[in-house]
Amino acid sequence: QLVGRVLRSPHAHAIIKKIDTSKAEKLAGVKAVITAKDLPDLTDGDAGMFDTLDNCMARKKALYDGHAVAAVAAIDARTARQALKLIEVDYEVLPHVTDVDEAMQHHAPLINDAIFTEGLEEKPVKPSNVSKRTQYGHGDVHQGFAQADFVVERSFKTEQTHQGYIEPHACVASVNPDGTADLWVCTQGHFVYRQHCAQLLGLEVSKLRVTSSEIGGGFGGKTHVWAEPVALALSRKAGRPVKLVMTRDEVFRASGPTSATSIDVKIGARKDGT
């Protein structure tokens, strides 16, 4: 069983101009080194799967601090860590914002130029950081406020909040010579992991078996793949099982907390309580 480790971007937003893994590949004890080139290109496929794959391994840009840009599988953790230090990445650092309201402004740094806001009456001609606009209504809202005796308006913001589970993301992946694969993983949704990992690796779903272990907490944070497709890709390239465990630092930097929110609320009421 090999040990997997991931090289992560130190930048919140940066173009990946070049990745040189040659020195890491030559290090004794290293059995596999992968980048986004070792995963299928889903650019023209399912948009949701493309986003998921992009989260697992940066393809053209690092989109957040901690974004995976390369990974290694080696005979032990020490060798894997040494290999990561030998990988050379040339970044072009770009501007970034960390506030949800700033990110929605038209002048904000654009994360993905393939995203055009859905849900607008007129089809947008320019890409945006806002992926979708949804509107729900019931009755005549404007008339309701006009008839109200009291109107209260407030704005609220929440920051990203991590689930803080005790056990970090961890998995063991094994891709066999016949193309079948096994994944042992701490997850809240092993069928979701099976479907997503198969799509991201270009495998038939029937050829991937996922075994869910007991988990040290999840709270909704272990329903999305992060390290698992990387471990499978490493195993496929190395021809041996690979164990990949995220550190606490990696969990906070490179897994999915609840999103930050910006909320504007307007409530109207009559004196009789309606």
Q: Which CATH class is domain 2-95+163-254?
A: alpha beta
68: left (phi over 0), alpha (psi -120 to 50) or beta: beta
Calpha distance 22→25 (Å, rounded) = 5
Calpha distance 64→253 (Å, rounded) = 8
Calpha distance 57→39 (Å, rounded) = 9
Calpha distance 176→45 (Å, rounded) = 26
What is residue 236's predicted lDDT score, i.e. its pLDDT?
98
Say if residues 2 and 234 touch (Cβ distance below 8 Å): yes
Q: What is 180-210 written as a DSSP string?
A: -EEEEE--S-HHHHHHHHHHHHT--GGGEEE
**In the chain, what are the domain boundaries?**
2-95+163-254, 100-136+147-160+259-269
Q: What is the residue-level pLDDT of the chain in tens, covering all 274 positions?
A: 999 999 999 999 999 999 999 999 999 999 999 999 999 887 666 766 878 888 899 999 999 999 999 999 999 999 999 999 999 999 999 999 999 999 999 999 999 888 999 999 899 999 999 999 999 989 999 999 999 999 999 999 999 999 999 999 999 999 999 999 999 999 999 999 999 999 999 999 999 999 999 899 999 999 999 999 999 999 999 999 999 999 999 999 999 899 899 999 999 999 999 8
Tokens standing for residue 154: 């407030």
Say if residues 168 and 251 touch (Cβ distance below 8 Å): yes
CA angle 184, 7, 161 (to 5 degrees): 70
Say if residues 226 and 198 touch (Cβ distance below 8 Å): no
118: left (phi over 0), alpha (psi -120 to 50) or beta: beta
What is residue 41's predicted lDDT score, i.e. its pLDDT?
83
47-73 per-residue burial string, b: 16 or more CB within 10 A, e: under 16: eeebbbbbbbbbbebbbbbbbbbbbbb
Place of tokens 């040990």: 3
What is residue 50's predicted lDDT score, i.e. its pLDDT?
75
Q: What number of other Cβ atoms are within 10 A of residue 18's Cβ?
A: 8
What's the count of helices (H) and strands (E) in the chain, helices before strands? 8, 12
Say if residues 214 and 166 touch (Cβ distance below 8 Å): no
What is residue 47's predicted lDDT score, i.e. its pLDDT?
66
> What stretches of the chain adopt beta strand conformation (E)?
2-8, 14-20, 30-34, 61-62, 68-74, 88-93, 150-158, 170-175, 181-185, 208-212, 242-245, 261-269
